[in-house]
Each structure stands twice: as C-alpha cells, then as structure tokens.
C-alpha cells in the first residue's frame, strides 16, 4: 500500500500568466507562497495556498495545447472548492465578471453547487457545505 497522507498540490498551466495570477489571488483569494521565473524554460511557477492547507502550482509555458472540454476529455474533469454560502459566492464571482453557471442542487445530497471557469478554461465547481 502507498500510505498516501493527503494531496500535496494541483498543477495548472496558463497561457496568460498575469491574468491567471490576478484571478487566483484577487478573485479566488489564494495566497502567494512563492513566485519564480525560470529563464531556461521561459516559464513562471507560482505557488498558491488557501487557508494554509492546499497548494496550487500555476505554471506558464510558451508552448502549450488547449484543453479539450467539449466533448469532455478523459482525465481530470474539474476541481471543486467548498464554500459556506453558494449564493454569496455566485454574486461575488458575477461582480468580478466571471461567467458562472446557475446554482443547481445535487440530486443525491441535496447540496447546492455551481460551475465556472478560470481564464484558461479550467472547469471549477463551488460546492456548498
């Protein structure tokens, strides 16, 4: 058995580093842990944290491929974040000009959730706890 302790980080690739940095810090509220420019790769790496627990590594590379979303591609489908109040989260995202799908109800749990995308088309979910 591997004895995995927890998820260490999630890596996300962006084609517009500054726009994504602003989105993840100012809209989603992640804290910057470290920011490095790697000259040999012409690439930024931004380490982000939420509540000091979870880490997202935001990368920029000059050579990338677009993510296939529709029809859905095999692999990671979306990343879900827990929120206490889905309606206020919806309103906040709308105030930041983020395109947000309408709030839905999970048919099995009765909990509210919604979907939106980061500036790169990465699908995210907010799930009310």
Tens-digit pLDDT profile for residues 64-99: 777 666 666 667 788 999 999 999 999 999 999 999
* Residues 92-104 as b or e (16 or more Cβ within 10 Å = b): ebeeeebebeeee
The pLDDT of residue 80 is 94
Q: Is the pTM of the predicted complex or chain greater than 0.75?
A: yes
Q: Which pLDDT score is estimated for 2?
A: 79
CA dist 16 and 21 (Å) reads 9
Answer whether 56's CB lies under 8 Å from 24's CB. Answer: yes
| Residue 70: predicted pLDDT | 65
With a cut of 50, list the residues of the chain below it in pLDDT.
none
What pLDDT, on a 0 to 100 scale, did the predictor assign at position 69?
A: 66
Residue for token pair 């799908």: 101
- pLDDT score, position 62: 82
pLDDT of residue 57: 94
Cα Rg, the chain, nearest whole Å: 16
């Amino acid at each position: 058995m591997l004895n995995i302790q927890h998820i260490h980080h999630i890596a996300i690739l962006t084609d517009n580093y500054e726009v994504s940095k602003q989105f993840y810090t100012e809209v989603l509220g992640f804290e910057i842990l470290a920011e490095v420019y790697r000259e040999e790769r012409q690439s930024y790496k931004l380490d982000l944290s939420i509540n000091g627990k979870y880490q997202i590594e935001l990368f920029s590379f000059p050579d990338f491929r677009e993510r296939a979303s529709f029809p859905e591609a095999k692999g990671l489908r979306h990343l879900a974040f827990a929120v206490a109040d889905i309606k206020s989260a919806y309103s906040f995202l709308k105030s930041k000009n983020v395109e947000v799908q309408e709030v839905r109800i999970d048919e099995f749990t009765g909990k509210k959730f919604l979907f939106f995308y980061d500036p790169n088309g990465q699908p995210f979910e907010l799930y009310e706890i």
